[in-house]
Chain A
């Protein structure tokens, strides 16, 4: 709001009315995203997505791709669930993955030889959903009076307890028995689960689950969109925006919060059961913090409270790790992201060109320094063969001891980025190419080889930066408030 009202020559009220629009009109690449976003209606978008999903299911028979798609489906269910809990009702539920795990283990226990239970799917899945919902209700109880921060930590703790319970329930001695019973299989998990049996057929292939997920997600989406328009949906948003005011309007704030929490837990439970069916086995390490952060990153990236945002976030966060797993792609991907980032920050093409030219210059300069000082570098390629890698080889330094150099550069990178955020506006343009160079160095020399750590680092950094720069996410409109 740097404009002075009097200079605009319009009344203050009009000026206030335009305030929202002005905030949204952004320059650079992000502006284009906004524009595209406004042109197409939601109905068109959802239908296009649905058609794409059906086409994919009909024509793609590659097992690997179907696996990824099914995992994406499960992931999407969870982001939609989180979206209700955090996006609509404004609660930070960090035990969400535990409900997911609970659903998976509940399915495993009722559909395997572990406890010799082989319930029909029509019985086990609804029972699991109800049980998870009830568990969610129990967990939300102690935090009712103090939601917010407390709920976050209590649920986080709950998630940890779930993991410990599962891990140590492989030798439980019941009173009156002398021998111990193995309930959860401990760290070995439970293999050999029955497949789902629905619509008169046993689910043999991943493709069956794909269609099931498609149906479930469609129903879920319809439900979520509908609910969002009903009284409950409106009330949720009111509660999120201003709990105190809602309370005074006669809205039962606590009940609504609990409802959101319970619904979220139920969705997670269902997702867990389906996931267990797909994998036909359950292992506890799939239900830990890394998955949790991935889901939250997806929802926050897309925009908490925005359903399209959740979908896009889920796409990015569940497909991205697959890409990072392949070195060839990850080497390329980073450069692309980096160029885009510089473009967005630079905002105009001239600056972008200057940045890229100086970036290239720095590369050759450092390379020259290294060869002058006779530092040992690995002369032959150690990268996967790809055009990008080959091109990089002539430009980027590859020290012999890449771990040590990579670590030092990583520390330098963190320090520089931190400094950049508080540096004077005049220094910033100078720093940018240097940071970019070190980032490329760290990425190609150190991070590419360590995909899972890298993924977590990116997510962590993204959460912090996102909260500072754009807390509502890319597609979110409102700010989410927890009370």
Chain B
């Protein structure tokens, strides 16, 4: 199986601060991979690097077999990477429908078929489509964020902390939704702090600690791993 996304020995800096150190990971076609780690360990930076919002100083990034290290975000989204950002980052003063249409920006005008698909997935949104996105509840906003990402017909969906800021019940729903999308064959890279939740739906996982991958393996193995607990407890 060819990997859809790979990061090879990526080093990233913010100014003079070394964030990612020789991070290598890959996501295969149809796979759900989770990236675990505590606060400020470089999870979001990894996502941003994959998306092209942060450019690595050293290392190579490929997507669907093509070297995209030097390509900008717009290009990568066009190639099929979509993201559900941390805190969802909806365009609050715009309507739900407009938010979804923005998701299809790289495809030109939004395809009605894609819209139908999103509304099928989240029937609630169909009734709310002309409501301003900022006025929705947290769970509904999550739906819009996911729907917006799906509008570009992504081959790979990146999710940044899907559980953040949601109530426990909604977190559960959120991961059910992730599992559902996975079942439809969408490849995903999910960044999470909530390790148990993430590992319950993932195929494989990586553990990131202060900018380095310290552990990787199948989700089942990781879930029972002692070091995972240690990784969360201290340096």
Q: A residues within 8 Å of B by Cβ?
A: 1, 4-5, 12, 15-16, 19
Given A1-B16, A4-B57, A16-B16, output 7 extra A-B contacts at Cβ < 8 Å.
A1-B15, A5-B16, A5-B18, A12-B16, A12-B18, A15-B16, A19-B16
Q: Is the interface of A mostly helix, strand, loop or mixed?
A: helix
A-B contact pairs, 10 of them (CB 8 A): A1-B15, A1-B16, A4-B57, A5-B16, A5-B18, A12-B16, A12-B18, A15-B16, A16-B16, A19-B16
A12–B16 Cα distance when bound, in Å, is: 8
Q: B residues within 8 Å of A by Cβ?
A: 15-16, 18, 57
Closest to B58 in A: A4
Counting from the closest, the 3 A-B pairs by CB-CB distance are: A16-B16, A19-B16, A15-B16
B140 CB, min distance to chain A CBs, angstroms: 32
A5–B16 Cα distance when bound, in Å, is: 9
Q: Which residues of B contact A4 (CB under 8 A)?
A: 57
Q: Which residues of B contact A5 (CB under 8 A)?
A: 16, 18
A199–B37 Cα distance when bound, in Å, is: 77
Closest to A19 in B: B16
Closest to A15 in B: B16
Closest to B11 in A: A4
> Which residue, B15, B16, B18, B57, has most C-beta atoms of chain A within 10 A?
B16
Q: Which residues of A contact B57 (CB under 8 A)?
A: 4
A19–B15 Cα distance when bound, in Å, is: 10
A284–B133 Cα distance when bound, in Å, is: 54
Q: Which residues of A contact B15 (CB under 8 A)?
A: 1
Q: Which residues of B contact A15 (CB under 8 A)?
A: 16
A4–B16 Cα distance when bound, in Å, is: 10
A173–B234 Cα distance when bound, in Å, is: 82
A19–B18 Cα distance when bound, in Å, is: 15
B125 CB, min distance to chain A CBs, angstroms: 37
Closest to B57 in A: A4
Q: Which residues of B contact A1 (CB under 8 A)?
A: 15-16
A56 CB, min distance to chain B CBs, angstroms: 48
A16–B15 Cα distance when bound, in Å, is: 9
A16–B18 Cα distance when bound, in Å, is: 11
Closest to B18 in A: A12
Q: Which residues of B contact A16 (CB under 8 A)?
A: 16
A442–B24 Cα distance when bound, in Å, is: 57
B56 CB, min distance to chain A CBs, angstroms: 13
A5–B58 Cα distance when bound, in Å, is: 12
A287 CB, min distance to chain B CBs, angstroms: 43
A270–B16 Cα distance when bound, in Å, is: 47
A5–B11 Cα distance when bound, in Å, is: 12
Closest to A16 in B: B16
A481–B15 Cα distance when bound, in Å, is: 19
Closest to B13 in A: A1
Closest to A1 in B: B16
Closest to A17 in B: B16
A12–B21 Cα distance when bound, in Å, is: 14
A9 CB, min distance to chain B CBs, angstroms: 15
B42 CB, min distance to chain A CBs, angstroms: 16
